[in-house]
Amino acid sequence: MKCEGTHFDSHVPHTFVIFGASGDLAKKKIYPTLWWLYRDNLLPKPTKFCGYARSKLTIEELRSKCHQYMKVQPDEQAKYEEFWQNHDYAAGSYDKRSDFVALKQRLGRLESCTCSCNRIFYLALPPS
């Protein structure tokens, strides 16, 4: 990421990786905030999102868990669909190297671009 003061290259792809994606913090605060940033075009294009947690969920199940907190207006529905099309989700443990190797491969497929991608990791995890 090329930084100069508060400006950065908004054409470089970004990926948000949310650890603890199936938890309360993620569904009540993190995903709604990412949605609002996406909705208002405040994120670089292209931006992708990948949730990671121990719970085995599909994107549809994750979306359903988050929906009541997202505050989507009727005229924003198309943008909301686009937001979720840029998502992926992986289930795994936090103490197995093999699960993190699988996550890395999944991120590579999600990003699928020839250039480098900035990754932002959010740890919505309990301290233990």
Domains present along the chain, CATH in parentheses: 14-123 (3.40.50.720)
75-105: pLDDT as tens digits: 999 999 999 999 999 999 999 999 999 999 9
42-74: pLDDT as tens digits: 998 889 999 999 999 999 999 999 999 999 999
Structure tokens that stand for 77 in this block: 């529905």
> Residue 16 is inside which H or E element, if any?
strand 14-19
Of the candidates 64, 56, 69, the one whose C-alpha atom is nearest the C-alpha of residue 25 is 69
More confident residue, 80 or 115: 80
First and final CA of the chain: distance in angstroms?
32
Cα 48 to chain center, whole Å? 6
Backbone angles phi, psi at 90, to 5 degrees: -130, 140
Residues 6+ apart with CB under 8 A from 39: 76, 79, 80, 83
